[in-house]
Amino acid sequence: MDEEIRRLALVHAIRNALKYGKARPGPVIGKVLADRPDLKQRIAEVREIVQQVVEEVNSKPEGEIQRIAEELGVLREEKRGKEERKWPPLPNAEKYERIVTRVAPEPNGYPTLGHVKGLMVPFVYARRYGGEFHLRFEDTNPRVERLEFYDAIREEFLSITEAAERVLGLAPGRWDREIVESDHLPELYGYAEQLIRQGDAYVCTCPAREVRLNRARGRECPHRSQSVEENLELWHGMLEGRFGEGEAHLRLKTDMRHPNLTMRDPGIFRIIEHPHPIHGDRYRVYPNYDFAVSVMDSLTGVTHAFRSKEFEPHVDVQRAILEKLGLRQYEMIQFGRITVEGLPLSKRHIRPLISAGILWGWDDPRIPTLKGLKRRGITPEALVLLMYDMGPSKVDATVTMDAIAAYNRKWLDPRVPRYMFVADPIKAEIEGVPGDLVAEVRVHPDRPEMGTRRIEVPASDGVARVYVSWSDHRSLEPGQEIRLRGLANVRVRSVMPDGLALTYLPEVRTDVKIIHWAPVEGAVPAVAISPTSAYSFESMGGFGEPAMSELREGDLVQLIRFGFARVDGRDGETVRLIRSHG
């Protein structure tokens, strides 16, 4: 067994060395475990073997590594021009001693597929440039934020970054620093007061409707001419509770005739009278997005800030804030948004479907939240590969579930075990059987090392009984020869509405129609749910082979001639499955 692990480690270490110049233990361990998930229980042993192999590979000259690669059949992975176009160099990277990027989610809901691009783009660049990657919670709108969302973001983002380390070799597969924006509110208040003292900000007590109208018309607010002393007094009044929510806000003094409407004296702080999920009632004044993101990016050393392109009009505001405060400027880069054809990504669309009972929750497999995709059996590795191939394009893109399925299928196909599941079962009797029948079926047709399963079909008075699917039943004709996968060849004697009569044939032929089956004795009841839209799904009942009784929640499998599926749980003896795709 140790030799198997060593050979597998050598293959991946050589591949890693060819791609990056030197092999690294982290990515090699990830690749070994991806190929052999059963080795996770021996992780300490695997880590030791991989470390030894990596050290040996890194001690060899390039010519020797190439020779071993040819001997093992490992090909050098050449960078394609197409890939280089998808991931262009970072602008002005040479200006910075170290590249620092971040992902800055608001903890106001569960992450969706759209968040994966927002995570992957800065993560890939940070790792490609040997830089630093931050996870920063933009939690300055307590009315919509909850503690459970912080934990969900940590957990689900980590599953993506760890997968990126396994499949792309981008190590370490997690963020280097975690920042909670609300912890820095006193510091942000200090910068707000600096702007007031400089005459660059003022407190406005106009109604929101009047503010919008003045900005649209380019008309200055009457509070714009207040003295610094007046504005400081009003600002302290905001902090101390002398104003209610919506009665006062701090605005940046810019240009009310600016062609970019966003630049017309934008609001930078407002009152929110709602407990914060972390700080409770400690604060009541919170920064707007433009102020918080620009100042925090500058203070935390970010060199390249990525955000979706709907924020492009806000770049002028953020640069103006940094300039007035004398803070470090950095690169602000936009990328296109991701949508899923026919499915809601926005929380404001998903939330009412959950409230109405149409969806089961945020982990409903019919919607593209990361929880829902996981429950459906879509792997983090597939999402990483999809987003990596899409690159950081500025063009909005719509992906289909078929495209996601294609990446998932490619990842799962060489890795997951096969099982026979008979949907809409019909009982078939095989006559003329010489004794009990036994099938030896491979767990995976192309992976003999995954072993075989023995399925026994007892016979009584020369008759053995199995289940076949209704779809196969209705396609058969009397006299037709077929093969029951791995078990026996049979001839169809008669096709009845509620059954099938077969005759055992002693010879083995594989040039005939091969169908799957399940033994009547020991069959495992199962239900498979297939999502069809955000509003509906199909449910199929049937029987699986006896080994399916050992499946546990979260197991990923391929049901032969039915599709890939994830075990969703059990209802007594019944295995509950969610069909991922074909």
Residues 6+ apart with CB under 8 A from 200: 252, 253, 324
SS3 for 319? helix
Cα Rg, the chain, nearest whole Å: 31
Omega before 445 cis (within 30°)?
no
Q: What's the gap between Cα 539 and its chain centre?
A: 25
- Give pLDDT, residue 1: 56
- Give pLDDT, residue 75: 56
Per-residue pLDDT of the chain (582 residues; tens, 9 = 90+): 577 788 888 888 888 888 777 888 888 888 887 777 777 777 878 888 888 888 888 888 877 787 788 777 665 444 444 444 579 999 999 999 999 999 999 999 999 999 999 999 999 999 999 999 999 999 999 999 999 999 999 999 999 999 999 999 999 999 999 999 999 999 999 999 999 999 999 999 999 999 999 999 999 999 999 999 999 999 999 999 999 999 999 999 999 999 999 999 999 999 999 999 999 999 999 999 999 999 999 999 999 999 988 888 899 999 999 999 999 999 999 999 898 989 888 888 898 999 999 999 999 999 999 999 999 999 999 999 999 999 998 888 999 999 999 999 999 999 999 999 999 999 999 999 999 999 999 999 889 999 999 999 999 999 999 999 999 999 999 999 999 999 999 999 999 999 999 999 999 998 999 999 999 999 999 999 999 999 999 999 999 999 999 999 999 999 999 999 999 999 999 999 999 999
- Give pLDDT, residue 82: 45
Among residues 570, 488, 580, 482, which one has the least CA distance to residue 530? 580
Q: Give pTM, 2 decimals.
A: 0.83
Q: How far apart are CA 29 and CA 287, in angstroms?
A: 44
Residues 6+ apart with CB under 8 A from 102: 122, 133, 134, 135, 136, 179, 297, 300, 302, 305
DSSP state of 513: E
Q: How far apart are CA 261 and CA 253, in angstroms?
A: 13
Strand order, beta sheet including 418-419:
418-419, 556-559, 563-571, 574-581, 524-531, 537-544, 421-423
Tokens of 203: 């407190």
- Give pLDDT, residue 23: 87
C-alpha to C-alpha distances, 440 to 100, 425, 454, 486, 492, nearest whole angstrom: 55, 22, 5, 6, 23
